[in-house]
Amino acid sequence: MKNVTLNNGVEMPILGFGVFQIPEEETQAAVESALAAGYRHLDTAASYGNENAVGAAIKASGIKREELFITTKLWIQHAPTGSVYDDTKHSFQNSLNRLGLDYVDLYLIHQPLGDYYSEWRAMQDLNKQGVARAIGVSNFHPDRLVDLIDHNEIAPAVNQIETHPFHQRATDQELMRERGVQIESWGPFAEGKNNIFTDPVLSAIAQAHEKSVAQVVLRWLIQREVAVIPKSVRPERMAQNLDVFDFALTEEQMARITTLDTGASLFFDHRDPAMVSWLGGRRYN
């Protein structure tokens, strides 16, 4: 497994296993299968509702804690008469309790909404205490990312954003590279949108390497130095998604994939007022 080194020296496997949209009752079995296949980087979130199941799978695996890289995420905190800073600490402890862990390797602000400056100040303290080995953000556009960096002591180690062949985020990645932030892809397969698994460009490249389209997409991301957390509940797909380190795409093939970029999200825009209100109205502990 290839690792990336975060801006504070922490090593993170470039390829992990995500559990977004896996029902809680199916998550433990899926994570146990992923760990058995060889994954050591797991990505969950308070809002996914399956941290308990992820923690149960970790415990059942018997794998040493130091061999695992565990990410979870903080949902938007709501404290109109209290302290967002304190609520962040409380939510973090709830996540630790659900996971059954003493620390996480990466803790992310899930959405660039609400009083995320108070959240970040609390997370900086969690990082200094060693209970969050690295801290970062998710879904931050460049303007908000730069503003957060410029007005705080610790720069985010990671920004986890929608990144796939139809929304490639090359400009975002370049800015992150300049600022020392590791880009991480969610939705690498665009959840099947735009007929990604039968796309002619990707299919031709896959055929040339005797690989699947999914493997080509993951390899394309890894060669761009984009960390990625594909999801599957099928053990054979989990194993296939790990099997991407024995081939390389040519410069010409990488360039052909570049032509697929639409420059726009296939899911939602965090700058859409209706989406901001919808996300901000959701509650998780």
The residues annotated with a catalytic role in the active site are 48
Query: Are 108 and 73 a contacting pair, CB within 8 Å?
Result: yes
Phi, psi of 255 (to 5 degrees): -65, -40
> Which residue type, as a one-letter code, is found at position 51?
E
Residue of 131, 141, 60, 64 lying closest to 91 (CA atoms): 131
CA distance 7 to 27: 31
Contact residues for 256 (Cβ-Cβ < 8 A; gap 6+): 201, 205
Write the DSSP string, 198-266: G-HHHHHHHHHHT--HHHHHHHHHHHTT-EE----S-HHHHHHHH--SS----HHHHHHHHTT--SS-S
CA distance 275 to 285: 20
Q: Which residue has the tokens 């299919």?
A: 203
